[in-house]
Amino acid sequence: MTTRDTEMTTWLRGLPKAELHLHIEGTLEPELMFALAERNGVTLPYDSVAAVRAAYDFDDLPSFLDLYYQGMGVLHTREDFFDLAMAYFARAQEDGVAHVELSFDPQAHLVRGVPLEVPFEGLLAACREAESRYDISSALIMSFLRDRDPAEALEVFEQAAPWHASIDAVGLDSAERDHPPGRFAEVFERARALGIPGVAHAGEEGPAAYIREAWEALEVCRIDHGVRCLEDPELVARLRDARVPLTVCPLSNVKLKVTPTLTEHPLPALREAGLNVTLNSDDPAYFGGGMLDNHVACHEAFGWTRDDFIAMTHNAVQAAFMDEGRREALLERLRGVASDV
């Protein structure tokens, strides 16, 4: 019997999970990368799918980002973005994911000459299709690249006015070191004025001070990653008291060497500190697994029980951008899931 066939894996697959930290460009599997490259006449610097996978041996976040931006170079049309998202939704459905929040990086496409309407319309069409085909609800997070000019982020946000009503949140991602979040206060304030909340990556490779800064200067309602908050006990207490959700990505953190191994990951410490932890896959095509793999790996590394996973799924559903009817339906499904006996 393989690991994936165990009773716990079956149970984890049936758990109606919500994924809050997912970069849709990071779901691009090598097979689709090749198919889209052929469709669009893009030459890839790899001979085979195996050669692409072999390149997924990263030293840190910047070494991953180099390959990540290269990979998304095959995405050119609405159909490409639709196909990318539908391939992900199909895998999410197999993993038992009930709700997905897709982040995407419009600036990374604009610099390649791909206009805003291409990712927006392709992804929104896929979200509608996923709802009817798989009963997976979704939200869209327009992310800004923190290693580019904040003025550009503001400009792109204003250009995206036709889709503001379709954006559930704005986000902040890309290379964290030496790129403090406070520089982006203006665009987050502008989004907030339009009723669009903010989330931000902080405390993945960057210091705990960036978490504090994202929370205070950008007024974000969730922190993506946030694992380095443990270096600042006073911040931990404040995050705990305010129940700020942390979208933690266990396999991503191992792959990018934020932690040497999963058993050494601070996840148990974050939970023992009373923090509002959720589990997510980040960039599943590059980091060795989707939602189910992340859950199974945590069960094996930490010995977490059904009740532990129910508690974290509850956190995610409560923190999700979804209408209250959908939230109540998912909470009802969670109440019906068999817990520890």
From 19, 25, 29, 204, active-site residue: 204
Distance of CA 123 to the CA centre of its chain: 15
Can you tell me whether residue 101 is helix, strand or coil?
strand
Return d(Cα 113, Cα 332) in angstroms, integer: 45
Q: How many residues bind Zn ion (CB under 5 A)?
A: 1
Active site residue 205: no
Please, which of residues 155-174 interact with Zn ion by CB under 5 A? none
Residue showing the smallest CB distance to Zn ion in the complex: 282
Q: Tell me the per-residue interface mask from 224 to 263 with Zn ion, x by CB under 5 A, - otherwise.
A: ----------------------------------------
Closer residue to Zn ion (CB): 44 or 214:
214
Q: Which is nearer to Zn ion, 24 or 235 (CB)?
A: 24
What is the contact mask toward Zn ion in residues 107 to 146, using x (rule: CB under 5 A)?
A: ----------------------------------------
Cα–Cα distance between 156 and 110 in angstroms, integer? 9
Range 282-311, binding Zn ion (CB under 5 A): 282
105 near Zn ion, judged by CB under 5 A: no
Residue found by looking up tokens 């379709």 in the block: 166
Given the structure tokens 């949140």, which residue do they identify?
169
Q: Does 205 bind Zn ion (CB under 5 A)?
A: no
Q: Quote the CA–CA distance of 286 and 204 in Å, as a whole number.
A: 17
* DSSP category for residue 75: -
Known binding residue 283? Answer is: yes
Binding characters for Zn ion, 268-287, by CB under 5 A (x = yes): --------------x-----
Which tokens hold the place of 234? 């006073």
- Contact call for residue 176 and Zn ion (CB under 5 A): no
Residue 188: which residues within 8 A CB-CB, separation 6 or more?
A: 170, 172, 198, 200, 218, 219, 220
Q: Positive or negative CA dihedral for 91, 321, 237, 146?
A: positive
Least distance from Zn ion to the Cβ atom of residue 199, Å: 10
> Residue 61: CB partners within 8 Å, gap ≥ 6?
175, 176, 177, 204, 205, 256
Q: Was 201 annotated as part of a binding site?
A: yes
Which residues contribute to the site for Zn ion (CB under 5 A)? 282
Binding residue ranges for substrate: 283
Binding residue ranges: 21, 23, 201, 282-283
Catalytic residue positions, numbered: 204
